[in-house]
Amino acid sequence: MAQKATKVQAARNAASLNRLHLISLAVNGVFLLVNFLLSSRNLYLWLIFALPSLAIELWFERSARPSFNPDGTVRRAGEDLEAKGLTEWMWDITYWTWGCIGLATVLGNRAWWAWALIPAYSAWLAWTTFSGARSGLQGLGGASQDAAPGGVSAAGQSKRQAKMEKREKGGQRVAYR
């Protein structure tokens, strides 16, 4: 049972890479088959928009393909293809590109415009991340203006005392039955 995690990751990576190559071959093969047999599609657009997916596929093959010693033991399991972050984003681009190729196969050359959603989604993701970080950093400037660091307001009262005084002045009334 030595290196069980390495063996499991190597098997998982090999299966994922084989599946990736088969799906890519099927999607691109059907596109080319439809292009040459039924109606012509723009091959230049296909090449331009399929290149990122093919480059990602090559990157995954290089970085995640496990290597084995001559005796069959795992030498290197490869990078984890289920990792979060950049790897997840590259899978998203691959899936979206396959979807766009499928749409272009069925609907024609105008379906390539769907690929423009990838940069739009990336810009939206970057903006929400930046604005979330910016709003999170605004509170680091210290305590608010009307309360001092110990929970004491500028008038020398604690928050509890200020609430009680507000209740007494009629701001909040407690109704008893």
Tens digits of residue pLDDT in 86-114: 898 899 889 989 998 999 899 888 888 88
Q: What is the pLDDT of residues 10-44, one digit of tens each?
A: 888 889 999 999 999 999 999 999 989 988 888 89
More confident site: 174 or 60: 60
Domain identity same for 112 and 80: yes
Please check whether residue 135 lies inside any domain of the structure: no
Please check whether residue 175 lies inside any domain of the structure: yes
Count how many domains the chain has: 2
Please check whether residue 140 lies inside any domain of the structure: no
Domain identity same for 112 and 159: no
Which domain covers residue 91, as residue numbers? 4-123
pTM score of the predicted model:
0.64
Please check whether residue 157 lies inside any domain of the structure: yes
Domain identity same for 117 and 59: yes
Please check whether residue 114 lies inside any domain of the structure: yes
Please check whether residue 14 lies inside any domain of the structure: yes
Instruction: Give the pLDDT confidence score for residue 155 in this predicted structure.
Output: 62
Please check whether residue 139 lies inside any domain of the structure: no
Domain identity same for 158 and 80: no
DSSP string, the chain: -TTHHHHHHHHHHHHHHHHHHHHHHHHHHHHHHHHHHT----HHHHHHHHHHHHHHHHHHHHHH--EE-TTS-EEE----TT-STHHHHHHHHHHHHHHHHHHHHHH-GGGGGGGGHHHHHHHHHHHHHHHHHHHHHHGGG-S-SSB-TTSBBTTS-BHHHHHHHHHHTTSS-PPP-
Please check whether residue 75 lies inside any domain of the structure: yes
